[in-house]
Amino acid sequence: MADLETKPKIMVVDDTIANLKLLEGLLGQQGYRVRSFPRGRMALTAAALEPPDLILLDVNMPEMNGYEVCERLKADPALAPIPVIFISAQHEPVNKVRAFAVGGVDYVTKPFQCSEVEARVRTHLDLRRQKLELQSSLQRLKELELLRDNLVHMVVHDMRSPLFAMLMSLDLVKLNVPDPAPKAAKYLQMAVDNVNKLTEMVTQLLDISRMESGRMPLNKTRGDLTVTAKQVMDSLQTLAADRRLILKAPAPVEAYCDQDIVARIFTNLIHNALKFTAAKDEVTITVTRSGANARVTITDHGPGIPAEFRDKIFEKFTQVEGEKRKYGTGLGLTFCKLAVETHGGAIGVAADTEPDNTFWFTLPLTGA
């Protein structure tokens, strides 16, 4: 019984009884379970009750021809994936074109060549099996990814309280030891900086999780992106040190967006650019209108990102290395991508700026 259940099921639909008998015998000898029907309507009813793995379908039949049967099969989500091989005495290319247009995967002409029928059936059954295995693997990967994300979210969520407690404790140490030894002050500040970095990573991970699940509310208001860019640049002046931050904005560019989220996008991208900008060099931020969108570019003169990595750098937990350029956890850029797309915009890396490096993103000017 188990062996019978694992054998591929083939449906043959042909109004000529001799053809049905021929194909039943041929395919039955190959170990397939074969069901035959002389009418298209009968075959559709049977397929709905027990979907086959493959259908051999005659073109010319009374009441409903093969093209119509195939169209109805493809209109049913449960039956649409079943491969359909048309069989016909018609050799004209126009008939084959129509067969493929309605969803057929192959075309066999009468009189049958047994070896040809066997080969085509075997090939399309193998392809279907591989497709189903691939879909199963993909579903399993999605389930594992969801499990991983849920675990990460749980761990990260539980990290927030200890991190805030550590930061408060370090602040209390600084208050109660107003004049520590230089080496102690250095180590204390290093501890504060690292706790702040961890806290920012935790915040980004939680926000990424909320955006991926569609639970990140946006507080959209109308604001000038040139003002937001200037505020972020001012906040990063200490980090910039002797590197110059240049804003190019010919005119105000107002967009309907969450101003705090957009400020974080600016911060992440400008911060990344500064990491790879040499002393006394510059990072240029440009804010302009482009049709119905605001367009922002951030350009540095550091080593460019290789073309094969320009999409990967936005993937979560992905580390990409280029020439003298390494992106760490990828959380900042993942956050930027999700935040921009949640606003209905787009983000990417320009392909024509080598050896410079330009990130860009767009945001809709209106809330529509």
Q: State how far the alpha carbon of 43 is from the alpha carbons of 37, 76, 184, 306, 359, in Å.
A: 6, 14, 83, 54, 56
Q: Is 222 left (phi over 0), alpha (psi -120 to 50) or beta?
A: beta
| Structure confidence at residue 242 (pLDDT) | 86
Nearest to 86 by CA among 68, 105, 113, 64: 105
Task: Write down the pLDDT at residue 1.
Answer: 42
Q: What are phi and psi of 359, to 5 degrees?
A: -95, 145
Q: What confidence score (pLDDT) does residue 201 get?
A: 77
Q: pLDDT tens track of the chain, all 368 residues? A: 445 567 899 999 999 999 999 999 999 999 999 999 999 999 999 999 999 999 999 999 988 999 999 999 999 999 999 999 999 888 788 888 999 999 999 999 888 888 999 999 999 999 999 999 999 999 998 888 777 777 766 776 777 778 888 888 888 888 888 788 888 888 888 998 888 888 877 777 777 777 777 667 788 999 999 999 999 999 998 888 888 999 999 899 999 999 999 999 999 899 888 887 888 889 999 999 988 999 999 998 877 677 777 777 887 766 666 555 555 456 788 888 989 998 999 999 887 655 678 899 999 998 65
Which of 115, 117, 114 has its CA nearest to residue 106? 117
pLDDT at res. 77: 94
Q: Looking at residue 319, what is its pLDDT?
A: 63
Q: Which among 162, 25, 16 is positioned nearest to 88, based on CA atoms?
A: 16
Query: Cα separation of 97 and 92, whole Å?
Result: 9
First-to-final CA distance of the chain: 60
Q: Are 336 and 271 a contacting pair, CB within 8 Å?
A: no
Q: In this predicted structure, what is the pLDDT of residue 215?
A: 67
Between the CA of residue 48 and those of 24, 87, 146, 264, 356, what are the distances in Å?
Answer: 21, 21, 33, 53, 59
What predicted TM-score, i.e. pTM, was given to this entire model? 0.54
User: What is the C-alpha to C-alpha distance for residues 296 and 274, in angstroms, rounded to an integer?
Assistant: 16
